[in-house]
Structure 1
């Protein structure tokens, strides 16, 4: 029986899990939350947290992208995406938490400004996100990935976020230029064909969402 992956096409958290599933060639079926939304009662009955991503593996259900990533690594250990050294593994987890607790929330804060006729209102939020990227550049030393020549779970969290930050900030007329180190990392990640496919699909969904938001504000 295929694993069921509940996801939303815009979510960077879902993209992370999607990349891991594909890198590990796990048999899965992706679908929107039951009832068409993670706000629906039907979905909440299955996933009490009411969030995406989530998975259903037989009778077992699990939410939270980090928890899912660790579960998939435990159940499908090849190819390995988690370091065996405890210090390296802890470092990778700290960088993953930085994404989830600092970077992604700063990116999401820009969403409400899409379609705003006064682009200057987004200035402070863009500055916060820019600062988050500067701090990230001081946290990581990809060579070319965080686990040297081998992709790790934490690498999988960042590709769509890096591109989304560029696309959303550009749509606001305030394009963010990533620090050089992050640009090199972004390019290395994008060269992986599995990651490229997920990134391209996510960027297409983001572009369509931006277009719809801008048109709705005009009308």
Structure 2
């Protein structure tokens, strides 16, 4: 019996500002645009797997789904990633199957980001190691790497004369992962949804 396993990425974008003690929150100075999209594919497809085979399937970073984040280069973004399966792929994507070993497959989400000029470049990717057992994480990083320099001064508030395109750059988020040791599960299609929320800090 064959299993068709895939993941669909859903991207949700919100922009808001939060104040923190002694930090200068650039978001408080005005509304800056943030563009987010999928560069190559919004589906991670693991192929057909045989129930009880104990086989594994891996999507390496070289075949990752790449999310682009374009915004003001000197402002940090906060990337929040959650999955609907709580660390599993579920039969027909049904959340009622969470915790049912006959109707779920363990899935290990992996992620990295690149925020150098001239990306995407996998060789410059920084791996995200704070992913929980539920395949969720929150990561903060600047759109453009500061290269060991402190943050610059607060940006000029947007006005009618402000041209954001002159201070824009793009960072990239890589999502990939693996399915280990397929056990005796019911036949069918297994999936989960990954929700990505990205805000300026």
TM tier, smaller: under 0.3
- Flag the structure with larger Rg: 2
Flag the structure with higher helix content. Answer: 1
TM-score by length of 2: 0.27
TM-score by length of 1: 0.26
